[in-house]
Amino acid sequence: MTLAFMTKLDGKPTYFIEKIWQSFPDEKTADIFSYYLDGMDSVHYNFSCDAIDMREKIHTIRLDKSKRWKVGNKIHFVINNRTPKRYQFAPIVIVKSVQDIKITEMLMTQTAYCTVSNNKIFKVEIDGRVLHKSEVEKLAFNDGFENVDAFFNYFNEDFKGSLIHWTEHEY
């Protein structure tokens, strides 16, 4: 199944490609990276040489009303989806796990395990368990965001979906 990723958010590079490559074991990538790097050049994506210093992106969050994402599905990582410049930027990997995620904006009077960001209060639940503030920070970093505020700038309203993992990590 196709997982499409944006290369820019609010006019700034996301570096999701680099962060996803960081999540793969070295033995999987050593022999094939140059093939994909050449392809990135062909669609004018400038892979950052500073990727070695970036945190890994080890999962992604998607709206998944029909529950299409399942353990064992093949993931095709792409950019420029549904355009002539569509490019699969990484090898096909298998979905290791899928968790339900729910993000809810809370009232100021509701404080249990909430995270404050940009003068809003959010509660994040995974598989029905409310995450503590430190876990929300880890979730934001592991999803490729530079900080919690950037995460909640993107997920800035109530959201219910799937957390799709291609590594063994779970919450």
Query: In this prediction, what percent of the chain has a pLDDT beyond 90?
Result: 72
Q: Which amino acid is at 4?
A: A
The whole-angstrom separation of Cα 38 and Cα 33 is 9
Domain presence at residue 154: yes
pLDDT 10s digits, 42-76:
899 999 877 667 899 999 999 999 999 999 999 99
pLDDT 10s digits, 12-34:
999 999 999 999 987 667 778 88
Ramachandran assignment for 159, one of left (phi > 0), alpha (psi -120 to 50 degrees), beta (any other): beta
Q: Are residues 79 and 49 in the same domain?
A: yes
What range does the domain containing 144 cover?
97-165
State yes or no: pLDDT of 127 exceeds 60: yes
**Domains contained in the chain, number:** 2
Q: Are residues 75 and 124 in the same domain?
A: no
| Stretch among 48-62, 106-120, 149-163 having the lowest mean pLDDT | 106-120
Q: Are residues 77 and 117 in the same domain?
A: no
Domain presence at residue 152: yes
